[in-house]
């Protein structure tokens, strides 16, 4: 499916107007965004692959469902676009990591990793242990992948979390197939207890 991102997905749907909410006095942008029927259709990640290619990851698609995430390939030559993974392929995708064989996305609210196989054009999911955390942030290492975990609201309000049985935000180091954890970085000591911490992105620096 090919089209023009600006022409079809934004102008026709009116997204270009919906998201232009000004910072005015007594104007609460959060309310305006949440009442929009398209509020879940936004890009969480833009990844530049080369001079001609950009990958875009959507959180949802056109309605209130976060389970309709997609992966879009955009050509900077003519601004044409095509789905690599159609809406519904991923669940609330947040981050994009491009490799030689596949495109990896974090599925934030599902505590899982989504994979798009470049050779077969197929998608599949690797379910990580469900512990009540948002999965946001991923980076490649020489042994595997760093993945970020932040407690979600349900966990934060739970009795077990308030009893300190659960950790604050942390990063786990997985092997290449996400079946083994090599180690962990706990972020509890970086912030005062009353503010907490959350991971939104992990950037690899040389």
pLDDT for res 81: 85
Please determine, for residue 172, whether its predicted confidence score (pLDDT) is greater than 90: yes
Cα distance between residue 116 and residue 15, in whole Å: 27
Please determine, for residue 134, whether its predicted confidence score (pLDDT) is greater than 60: yes
pLDDT for res 162: 64
The better pLDDT of the pair 169, 154 is held by 169
Cα distance between residue 97 and residue 94, in whole Å: 10
What DSSP line would sit under 51-86, residue for residue?
A: SSEEEEEESS-SSS-TT-EEEEEEETTT-EEEEEEE
* Average pLDDT of span 1-24: 40
| 164-167: Cβ within 8 A, 24+ apart | 166/131, 166/132
pLDDT for res 165: 58
Please determine, for residue 63, whether its predicted confidence score (pLDDT) is greater than 90: no
Cα distance between residue 79 and residue 76, in whole Å: 5
Percent pLDDT > 90 in the chain is 35
Please determine, for residue 3, whether its predicted confidence score (pLDDT) is greater than 60: no
pLDDT tens readout for residues 79-90:
788 889 988 899
Please determine, for residue 152, whether its predicted confidence score (pLDDT) is greater than 70: yes
pLDDT for res 125: 97
CA dihedral 122, 89, 177, 201 (to 10 degrees): 130
The better pLDDT of the pair 196, 3 is held by 196
The better pLDDT of the pair 172, 20 is held by 172
pLDDT band at 51; cut points 50, 70, 90: confident
pLDDT for res 194: 54
The better pLDDT of the pair 163, 87 is held by 87
Cα distance between residue 194 and residue 203, in whole Å: 26
pLDDT for res 140: 95
The better pLDDT of the pair 184, 22 is held by 184
Cβ burial 94-115 (10 Å sphere, 16+ → b, else e)? bbbbbeeebbbbbbbbbbbbbb
- What's the whole-model pTM score? 0.76
Domain range annotation of the chain: 1-91
């Amino acid at each position: 499916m090919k089209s023009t991102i600006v022409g079809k997905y934004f102008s026709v749907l009116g997204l270009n107007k919906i998201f232009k909410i000004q910072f005015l006095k007594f104007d609460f942008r959060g309310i305006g965004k949440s009442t929009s029927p398209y509020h879940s259709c936004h890009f969480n990640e833009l990844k530049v692959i080369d001079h001609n290619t950009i990958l875009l990851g959507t959180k949802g698609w056109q309605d209130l469902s976060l389970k309709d995430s997609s992966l879009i390939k955009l050509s900077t030559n003519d601004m044409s676009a095509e789905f690599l993974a159609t809406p519904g392929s991923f669940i609330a995708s947040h981050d994009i990591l491009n490799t030689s064989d596949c495109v990896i996305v974090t599925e934030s609210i599902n505590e899982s990793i989504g994979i798009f196989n470049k050779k077969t054009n197929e998608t599949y999911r690797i379910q990580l242990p469900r512990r009540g955390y948002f999965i946001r942030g991923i980076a490649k290492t020489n042994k595997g992948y760093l993945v970020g975990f932040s407690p979600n609201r349900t966990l934060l309000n739970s009795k077990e979390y308030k009893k300190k049985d659960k950790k604050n935000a942390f990063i786990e180091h997985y092997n290449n197939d996400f079946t083994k954890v090599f180690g962990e970085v706990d972020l509890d000591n970086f912030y005062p207890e009353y503010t907490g911490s959350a991971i939104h992105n992990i950037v690899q620096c040389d």
